Structure 1
Amino acid sequence: MYPKAYFDYLYHFHCDRDYFECHEVLEEYWKEKNAGEREIHWVGLIQIAVGLYHHRRGNFKGSLRMLQNACRIIGKESAAIEALGLDSARLLKSLEERIVCVTKQEPYASMNLPIIDPDLQLSCEALAQSASKVWGAASDLFDDSLVNRHTLRDRSDVIEERQRQLKLRRKG
């Protein structure tokens, strides 16, 4: 019923709190469709993960921008969010509360997405158990490979693509 990438997102979001990987798996899924067919609610979920990633690192400006964008998208896409087994109203409330925390530059704390589909919840918990993970475990704030993941990966493909796009814009 739900795409595998979404299950992967939920797993990383709630089990290992690898928000960077949340971004990666959903963005890859989102980009599988042609630009005109892409569904914006996936971007909202991606931005939640990116906002939490920035918050955990103490990048309050980046976190605030991502969470505010996510809040706008989730608000407009409530039906699509509900179709993903999430309570869109509770999610919006959680995001608004997180935005207040970030604005006050309060320390990061893990959050869970409000899953309302009991079958989805059971499937996710079973996935966590099969991987010997704890569903809803708090983020390990001392795991540098998790907290600073973006600095530890090979980004040559991303840099190459940005340079290619810049050249195209200069030509056009």
Structure 2
Amino acid sequence: MVHYNKNERYIKYLCHFHFDHDFFECHEILEEQWKLELNEDYKKVWLGLIRLSVVLYHYRRRNFTGAKKLMRHVIAFSNDENLLAMAGLDSIHFNKIISELQLAIQNETDYTHFDLPLNDRELIRRYQNQKEHYSTFTEELINKHSTRDRSDVITERLKQLEIRRKI
């Protein structure tokens, strides 16, 4: 089953990742898919890619502490060849990228963009065909989180914090 090729949210994720480098939007798009996903393995795929987006969002903003905290999850995802194959990723190249990313974050070097090493031609064709609908990177994307109404997320976080305090 080639689930990801049929998944429009994944195609949008790839477009934002590669064309405008909008990692905040990458996170938002796949979070919706993750919530709706019934297949537990694909839930892990989407979560791994969500976490990668969040790491890159923090890293580009020079929030090295935030990036380092999530990086261990990205490393675990990168070590699961089955999940990488499900996402259409070349595991050897992906692991090399993640190792370099981890080192760059540890050394707190400036952000540099990379493309995901996809090895599925149909998947590449599908997202490349969308290129004209996406702009290129703009500086406003660096702090995009500050322009969004995230009150529902903040409310839920406070609710969960209160629950943990009572335990």
TM-score, normalised on structure 1?
Answer: 0.84
Please tell me whether residue 163 in structure 1 is matched to residue 158 in structure 2: yes
Alignment of 1:19-30 (within 5 A): 19-30=23-34
Please tell me whether residue 65 in structure 1 is matched to residue 69 in structure 2: yes
Q: Distance in 2 between matches of 1:71 and 1:149?
A: 25
Which has the higher relative contact order, 1 or 2, with Cα contacts under 8 A spaced 6 or more apart? Answer: 2
Contact 1:43 1:70 in 2 (8 A): no
Match of 1:113 among 112, 116, 120: 116
Classify the secondary structure of the residue corresponding to 1:14.
Answer: helix
Does the C-alpha gap of structure 1 residues 153 and 92 become closer, same or farther in structure 2, counting only changes over 3 Å?
Answer: same
Contact 1:2 1:84 in 2 (8 A): no
- Stretches of structure 2 that go unaligned for 5 or more consecutive residues are none
Match of 1:53 among 57, 73, 78: 57
TM-score, normalised on structure 2?
Answer: 0.86
Amino acid at match of 2:151: S
- Stretches of structure 1 that go unaligned for 5 or more consecutive residues are none
Count of residues in correspondence between the two structures: 163
The alpha carbon displacement at 1:168 in A equals 3.9
Identity %: 36
Does the C-alpha gap of structure 1 residues 162 and 132 become closer, same or farther in structure 2, counting only changes over 3 Å?
Answer: closer
Contact 2:27 2:53 in 1 (8 A): yes
